[in-house]
Amino acid sequence: MEERPLLCVVGPTASGKTGLACELALRLGGEVVSCDSMQIYKGMDIGTAKVTPEEARGIAHHMIDCAEPSRPWSAGRYARAARTRIAEIRARGVVPIVCGGSGLWLRALTEGLSDIPDCPALDHGPDAYERLLKADPVTAARLSPADRQRVFRALDVFAATGRPLSEFHKEKGAPLAYTCVGIRHEPRQKLYDRINARARRMVEDGLIKETEALLQSGLSADSPPMRAVGYRETCAFLLRGEDTPETRGELINAIAQSTRRFAKRQMTWFLNQTETAWFAPEDLITLKNCKM
């Protein structure tokens, strides 16, 4: 029997995706698979708005707390792990429901990604692009010589495996059939009000202490996870060393402002990169009659 398309709940941060995914899981007999590039990390709970037991309502959640923040995950690693978990869920006769706002991770999951192994990051020097032209001319042709990050990445792969990155890209996995639903707040100020309230709640619930604990564990403020919205602003707050009602208010405002900008970018991505059935919060009852 042909499998149903993978159901994905998408949209910007603070839009209500978690609640919708849990409601769908209850109705369909499903479990939730997170597609969030920060919720994958242990110890980053408040700042990533991980699902609480009350919100989960007994629904199992996967792909959360899978990694230490000192060992960042790539979209490719996530996609491979999430596909395995989705297959396991389906094998039990349960409906997997993907939920998250990380568009690039969703693309990696649904469109397939080459199985490129983790490779040590090396400094390939000023002639890196010329070396890539010899080692992997196909990849070099699609990269700018000025894009040193991607040029170095391609050389990292070649150095570690002896194979050009372009060969790995030819082995891209088969895409998954999927359908997206999302929550769209109109006017946008409704979403911004939710974001502002969430920023305040995060600080009140202990985001500062959570960030301190991450830094005390040895995690650098410049590490990729700590550059995420919320943690970046809190690191700057801690560096300033002034904890007063006024500075906490400034922290809340900074987090809210960054989150609003992030949400705008997310919404633009999902509008342009996916075919999503958008629902207003007050109209979600109509999902009962949708054939997924």
Domain ranges of the chain: 6-115+174-183+274-289, 128-169, 189-271
High-pLDDT (> 90) share of the chain, %: 78
Tokens matching residue 250: 């400034």
Query: How far is Cα 132 from Cα 134, in angstroms, rounded to an integer?
Result: 5
The 10s digit of each residue's pLDDT in 225-237 is 999 999 999 999 9
Residue 12: band (very low, low, confident or very high) from pLDDT cuts 50, 70, 90 = very high
- Residues paired with 96 in a beta bridge: 31
CATH number, span 6-115+174-183+274-289? 3.40.50.300
Instruction: Count each helix (H run) and each strand (E run) in the chain, helices first.
Output: 12, 6
Q: Over range 115-131, report the average pLDDT.
A: 86
Does domain 189-271 fall under CATH 1.10.287.890? My reply is: yes
- The beta strand positions in 121-267, using DSSP E, are 178-183
CATH number, span 128-169? 1.10.20.140
Rounded to 5 degrees, what angle do the CA atoms 241, 247, 252 make?
Answer: 120
pLDDT(116) > 80: no
Judge residue 155's burial from the number of C-beta atoms within 10 Å of its C-beta, 0-12 exposed, 13-18 middle, 19 or more buried: buried
Sequence-distant (6+) residues with CB within 8 A of 37 are 73, 75, 78, 102, 104, 105
Q: Over range 6-28, report the average pLDDT.
A: 94
